[in-house]
Amino acid sequence: MDFKSVGIKGMGYYAPEHVMTNLDFEKIIDTSDEWIRTRTGIEERRFAAKDQATSDLCVEAAKKALENAKMSIDDIDLILVATCTPDYLVQASACLVQKRLEAKQTPCFDLNAACSGFIYGLTVAGGMIRGGVYKNILVIGAETLSRIIDMQDRNTCVLFGDGAAAAIVGEVEDGYGFLGAYLGAEGEDDEILKIPAGGTKKPNTIETIENRENFVKMKGTDVFKFAVHALPSSTNKAMKIAGVKSEDIKMVFPHQANIRIIEAAAKRIHVPMEKFYVNLQRYGNTSSASVGIALGEALEKGIIKKGDTIALTGFGAGLTYGSIIMKWCY
């Protein structure tokens, strides 16, 4: 059996027009631009318009990815949307994307690995293509986190933003594409990072809404401790699987959550900080979209070129984590 080379054939990303700055937050909650920047590195983020949902952001990113790959929607035989903020609890956002893109009868589903979602999605897509199930898969990581943040909680509401990133995954030139991947999880139920109410375990009631349990809750210290371990660990394991060393990496695209986490990871991966692509100052934490937005932006700037070895790495609620090492194919 021939081993197929599978990779990304086209990328696209979309960020909503509305910019929410740290100064804007100063006007509505007890915080300051200095407090946010020194603790997170974030200066601004994008919020979706009132008439935009996650599927709308997906469609914009998907159109750009198809154009970048010089492909049409007819070339796509599976749509996978990684998100923790779907349009509806019941009905996959991927199905809404399929309808909007007129990808008639194309199978589609959602995947929820929170901030690790894009990496999980790429890994799942790669396995399906190598297994001969599909040829070209549209993988999208997208979030409208502005709808699930508590604007009265200054510790969390300043962290998150909205956006989407899309990748066309398919067979690529031999020797290029995905070289190795590692996924992991440390399941917890201690409200380290979750929305407590609104699911089947704790349906929303007047009481849960009054207690603001329908918004995301996070234990920041616990997340930090997990992230500074999980992010470098998964990256190092993916590099070992891929057979590459840290000095072989041209650029690392980490989940854009917090500059302190990224700096700590850089030391443990033994890759200099200047090789870490950082754009969280402009977008904040966009969860499953963050790694893809960073990669898409770097491609636009010409930072990544054919033959470069890069790493995508992330962590998120669940708790989940994962990394992919790839040799860029275009």
Do 27 and 137 lie in a common domain?
yes
**In-domain check, residue 1:** no
pLDDT at 189: 86
Among the listed residues 58, 115, 157, 329, the single catalytic one is: 115
pLDDT at 324: 98
**In-domain check, residue 150:** yes
The string of DSSP letters for 248-297 reads G-SEEEE--S-HHHHHHHHHHHT--GGGB---HHHH-B-GGGHHHHHHHH
Of 175, 194, 224, which one is at a domain's C-terminal end?
A: 175
List all residues 6 or more positions away from 90 whose beta carbon is below 8 Å from its beta carbon.
none
Question: Cα separation of 230 and 254, whole Å?
Answer: 12
Q: Would you say residue 3 has pLDDT above 90? A: no
Do 155 and 287 lie in a common domain?
no
Contact 111, 80 (CB under 8 A): yes
Do 188 and 287 lie in a common domain?
yes
Question: Among this protein's residues, is 18 annotated catalytic?
Answer: no
Q: Would you say residue 304 has pLDDT above 50? A: yes
pLDDT in tens, 218-260: 999 999 999 999 999 999 999 999 999 999 999 999 999 999 9
Do 311 and 222 lie in a common domain?
yes
Domain holding 232, by residue range, is: 178-327
Among the listed residues 22, 112, 136, 285, the single catalytic one is: 285
pLDDT at 135: 97
Q: Would you say residue 10 has pLDDT above 80? A: yes
What is the arithmetic mean of pLDDT over 201-205?
Answer: 95
Of 125, 151, 175, which one is at a domain's C-terminal end?
A: 175
pLDDT in tens, 13-49: 999 999 999 999 999 999 999 999 999 999 999 999 9
**For the chain, what is the mean pLDDT?**
96
pLDDT in tens, 257-281: 999 999 999 999 999 999 999 999 9
- Tell me the two tokens of residue 325: 């090492």
pLDDT at 2: 61
pLDDT in tens, 136-186: 999 999 999 999 999 999 999 999 999 999 999 999 999 999 999 999 999
Question: Cα separation of 293 and 124, whole Å?
Answer: 19
Do 57 and 144 lie in a common domain?
yes
**In-domain check, residue 144:** yes
Do 66 and 161 lie in a common domain?
yes
Do 249 and 260 lie in a common domain?
yes
**Number of independent structural domains in the chain:** 2
Neighbours of 266 (CB within 10 A): 19
Question: Among this protein's residues, is 255 annotated catalytic?
Answer: yes
Among the listed residues 22, 255, 258, 329, the single catalytic one is: 255
Q: Would you say residue 1 has pLDDT above 60? A: no
pLDDT in tens, 82-129: 999 999 999 999 999 999 999 999 999 999 999 999 999 999 999 999
The CATH code of the domain that includes 110 is 3.40.47.10
